[in-house]
Structure 1
């Protein structure tokens, strides 16, 4: 599988004290996934504390492309009355979702990884056949250290994690802007960084602007 260009960009900028090498983690998960599910055509790992997603895609298998090369959401139609009646039927829902799924993706599984009682990672696997994960989830859970009770199948046939991975570099740029502003506020006001972040968020709420915009204003005023 190939690393999404935006994931490469994000990885080049991402520094974390908890995970030494995110790309190594992705490659280890890729190896486990492909051994257990050869039909796997894409995978995403989301670092929940940072809300960052990194994605690997087998482009030769069609993973990551909308049907017919269209953009996500293009050519959608309003659901019929019959579709609405069967919206709660899992099999019907899965069939309808596959019709709108990205080319090359026919089934998915989402596996949370829990440490000390809280989810720290989410692993999403995407396969090219509808039953690729049948009878394989137990093995994946054991290999990946995931939480079996939290496993969910076919919840992301639209490959939403791809969109989040594409947005990761911008999220990192915004976070860096906030971090710099927090450091300036903390130094100027003699606060801890936690208190400075709270102050920045309060200022953003009062002003009716976003946290990133408030950080940009703070940098102009304090730099």
Structure 2
């Protein structure tokens, strides 16, 4: 499997030092998953505290799936032929139309879930009688395992958003530091100020962060 380009971008440029081992974790999970479920064609790991998703996909499996034609896009009642976002969504859906089963496995540490592992397979019964083995190998919480909850490969979308999410977080972090220094409060208190300002104004925290940087930088 290969890292999604956005996952590579996030790992290479934006991930904090505390997350340096994410790619190694992905590769370890890949090894266990492929050995246990040879039909596995993709996997995602979501770090719950950071709300970040990283994805590996079998590019050969994806390339074998048919790409939508212009005629098919025009025929869709939901996607206009000139709607680039709609085209991209439809292409993505068709590219992974071969996903026939999924399993989501939470990993719990000290009584709380810290990450979620999502596995995707090309056959309908790929995970039948294999979940126990996956749970044991991956250190997941068996009672929290959920099958076929993400046949639409929603974690792929979240992984594609990871670089932008990290850029936004960096913007907010810088603004919080500036506010803390200017007002004379802790960074935790400054973050609350930024969040409260965003809530009162009905805007995103990143918009408040831009204003804060303009005022205090």
Q: Is the 8 A contact 1:100 1:158 kept in 2?
A: no
Partner of 2:160: 166
Partner of 2:24: 24
Matched length? 197
Partner of 1:188: 182
**1:216 equivalenced with 2:217 (yes/no):** no
Q: Is the 8 A contact 2:68 2:94 kept in 1?
A: no
**1:10 equivalenced with 2:10 (yes/no):** yes
- The alignment's C-alpha RMSD in Å is 2.1
TM-score relative to the length of structure 1 = 0.83
Q: Distance in 1 between matches of 2:181 and 2:32?
A: 46
Shift of residue 21, structure 1, vs aligned partner: 1.1
Q: Distance in 2 between matches of 1:108 and 1:139?
A: 15
In structure 2, the gaps of 5 or more residues are 79-92
Shift of residue 190, structure 1, vs aligned partner: 1.1
Q: Is the 8 A contact 2:11 2:20 kept in 1?
A: no
Partner of 1:84: none
**Structure number having the greater helix percentage:** 2
TM-score relative to the length of structure 2 = 0.86
Spell out, residue by residue over 1:172-216, the C-alpha distance to the aligned partner (whole angstroms, 9 max, x if none): 000000000000001111111110000001111111211111111
Q: Is the 8 A contact 2:66 2:94 kept in 1?
A: no
